[in-house]
Each structure stands twice: as C-alpha cells, then as structure tokens.
C-alpha cells in the first residue's frame, strides 16, 4: 500500500489515510450557520483521513467574509453538530479551524459598523474582504482601515478562541486548528511591517509571537493539547504581508514555542503556488529540526510529490485544497489513478446554492 493511503495515529486519533482536506473558505452558509448543503459538502469529502473545516470565525469581530459559519452562538453549534455527525458516519475525522481575520475585514461586517481590529492602524493595501458593497450586494470589497487593539483588549481575543474551542467540542469536532496563517490576525502581530506596537506584544520576536503562543496555551488548557493544531505560513505574502529582516529567525522561534507546547500538529501553508516566493534554502530543515512533532503541509501537492515527502520523513500528512473542490472522491481518484476534474473558479465563493459546491460527481458517475 502507498504510504499516502496508510493509516496514521494523530495523538491517539486514528486517521484512515494521510490525506488531509485543507481548510477552504466557500462563503455558502446563509446567516453564518451550517445548513443542509454544508452537511452534504463535508460528508462527500469524508474520504480524507482528516478534514480541517473552512475558517470558522470565533466572533462577529473576527469575520472578514459573508456567509461563513462561525462558532460564537448556539445555532451555529447545532448546525456544526450535523456536519461532524455526517463526517463521523463516513469514517472521517474533522478539526474546526478557528479564525480571526483581524484587519482583513470591512465595517459592514463589524459590530455596530466599527473598524476592524489589528496590531496597528495600518491598512491592508490591495486586500479584499467579502462584504456588502454600496448597492448592498455581496462581493469582494477593499478591506477597511483598522484600529489597533489596546493592550487591555487582547486577552479578550484569546478568550474568544477559548470559547469557540469549547463550542467546537460541544459540536462534536475531534479537535481545533488555530489559524495563524495567511495574513490574518496572528500574522499581523508576528510581522513587524504591520506591528508597530510598543507594549509587550510588539518589538522583539518573543513579543510579536506572544499572542499566538498565549492563545495556543489557553485553548490547549480548555480542550487538551492533543486536540489542538496550528496553521502558519512562513514567508507568506497574502494580504499585504511584506518581507522583514529576521523573518527566518522569527518562524524558527514560532516552531520552538510550538514544540515546547507539545500540541497535535503544525500545518504549514506554502504560498508558492499562488505567486509568493518560496521558503529560502535551509529554512525547512531548520524548522523541522526545531519542531519535531506531526507536520502537515499544503501547497500544490499531487500523489507523487506527496508520497516523496512522506517517504523522506519530511512530512507526516499531506493537505490538498482545491483538488477537493471538484473531486469529492479525491482519495479514491488518486488511489486508482483516475483523472481529476477541474473546479470552476467562478463558483469558489458565494451563496450560489449547489452549483460548484455539492454538484461535482464522483468518478464512477462520469464514465
């Protein structure tokens, strides 16, 4: 059997294969509550050993996109219960990705129409939220100017993650993934081109990574270390994340902090496939030498490259994103060498019902 399709034990949780369905925003949940289509979407893709849900906002303030099912009220918990039950009925496992977008939001999405929050007041240039435009129609719109969180407000952010993690457990998730990647709130603290703070959340590397590590600690205390993963994107450039001098050292220190906390996994998001520069030579080795736990990576893998990464010991699990959109039976297609369908990019996001969401057939039905 190919190593990609062999079982893997993740902190006592048995995964039926080493394929992970990566988190993908689909913006399909009206009223921000999982519905029948959400349930079907995840059920169809439960052939993955592990599903990481789409980003799940931990609060209204944490939203950057319309129609994203959150975990901040009881109706959402009840909706997610149906999703997790469906995944488990198909023999799958599912973690909830807990998310705060920070400045990548719009005033129309914020409580009382306020400014989005971030480490500083710096605008995310050329960065789009998914919100209501002037005609009150949903669509992509430039993110609003943020305000800097006060030092006193920051523990409230961590508490929002704790409360969402508690709700995730109530909803039946097998664990949670803290979204520390892709230019969202945690990265807005980590990157000094955004973070110009003078308190103990700004300046030095240890200060800039403090919020992420404090949140990991608090969530792990709530649900247990074995049920907590974290996603990061070293050298990522999404949403106006600029390069900075001690970038490699910063991410190695993040790796060191996570290693000390002995959580379930780290999930690396490599943005090379969407136009960012690659990680510098030697960085991956330094990161792997520092973080020795379960490592997942996403970023343009196919079956062959996934198998090479697993066989070398470089990675433990491989995440696939867009291939899962048009191929709900992706694991079976890769296992059997069947051709992959191509997703329709025009239906990636938005409340357009079944089209481009749950209407992609399994391979047998298109022969």
**∠ CA 282-284-285 to the nearest 5 degrees?**
65
Centre a 10 Å sphere on the Cβ of residue 206 and count the other Cβ atoms it contains. 12
- How far is it, in rounded angstroms, from Cα 230 to Cα 286? 18
Cβ–Cβ < 8 Å for 34, 25: no
Q: Is 132 part of the annotated catalytic residue set?
A: no
How far is the CA of 142 from the CAs of 132, 148, 149, in angstroms?
11, 18, 21
Catalytic residue among 65, 72, 130, 184: 184
In the chain, what is the straight-line distance between the N-terminal and C-terminal CA atoms, in Å?
A: 26
If you write DSSP's letter for every residue of 122-133 in order, what string do you get?
A: ---TT-EEEEE-
HEC string of 148-201 equals ECCHHHHHHHHHHHHHHHHHHHHCCCCEEEEECCCCCHHHHHHCCCCCCCCCCC
Cβ–Cβ < 8 Å for 45, 330: yes
Q: Which residues contact 104 (CB under 8 A, 6 or more apart)?
A: 64, 116, 124, 127, 129, 143, 183, 184, 239
Strands 8-10 and 13-15: antiparallel
Active site residues: 184
């Amino acid at each position: 059997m190919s190593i990609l399709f062999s079982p893997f034990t993740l902190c006592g949780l048995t995964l039926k294969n080493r394929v992970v369905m990566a988190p993908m925003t689909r913006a399909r949940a009206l009223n921000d509550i999982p519905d029948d289509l959400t349930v079907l979407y995840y059920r169809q893709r439960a052939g993955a050993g592990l599903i990481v849900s789409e980003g799940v906002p931990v609060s209204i303030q944490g939203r950057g996109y319309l129609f994203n099912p959150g975990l901040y009220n009881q109706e959402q918990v009840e909706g997610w219960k149906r999703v997790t039950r469906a995944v488990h009925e198909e023999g799958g496992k599912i973690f909830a990705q807990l998310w705060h977008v920070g400045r990548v939001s719009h005033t129309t999405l914020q409580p009382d129409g306020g400014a989005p929050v971030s480490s500083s007041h710096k605008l995310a240039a050329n960065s789009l939220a998914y919100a209501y435009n002037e005609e009150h129609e949903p669509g992509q719109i430039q993110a609003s100017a943020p305000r800097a969180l006060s030092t006193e407000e920051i523990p409230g952010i961590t508490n929002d993650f704790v409360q969402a993690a508690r709700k995730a457990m109530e909803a039946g998730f097998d664990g949670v993934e803290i979204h520390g990647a892709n230019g969202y709130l945690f990265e807005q603290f980590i990157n000094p081109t955004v973070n110009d703070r003078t308190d103990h959340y700004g300046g030095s590397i240890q200060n800039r990574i403090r919020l992420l590590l404090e949140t990991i600690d608090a969530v792990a205390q709530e649900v247990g270390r074995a049920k907590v993963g974290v996603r990061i994107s070293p050298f990522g450039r999404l949403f106006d994340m600029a390069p900075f001098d001690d970038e490699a050292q910063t991410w190695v220190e993040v790796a060191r902090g996570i290693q000390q906390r002995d959580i379930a996994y780290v999930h690396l998001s490599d943005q090379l496939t969407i136009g960012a520069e690659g990680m510098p030579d030697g960085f991956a080795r330094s990161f792997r030498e520092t973080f020795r736990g379960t490592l997942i990576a996403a970023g343009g893998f196919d079956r062959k490259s996934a198998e090479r990464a697993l066989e070398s010991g470089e990675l433990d699990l491989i995440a696939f994103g867009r291939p899962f959109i048009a191929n709900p039976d992706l694991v079976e297609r890769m296992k059997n060498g069947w051709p992959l369908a191509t997703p329709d990019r025009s239906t990636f996001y938005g409340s357009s019902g079944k089209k481009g969401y749950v209407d992609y057939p399994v391979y047998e039905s298109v022969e």
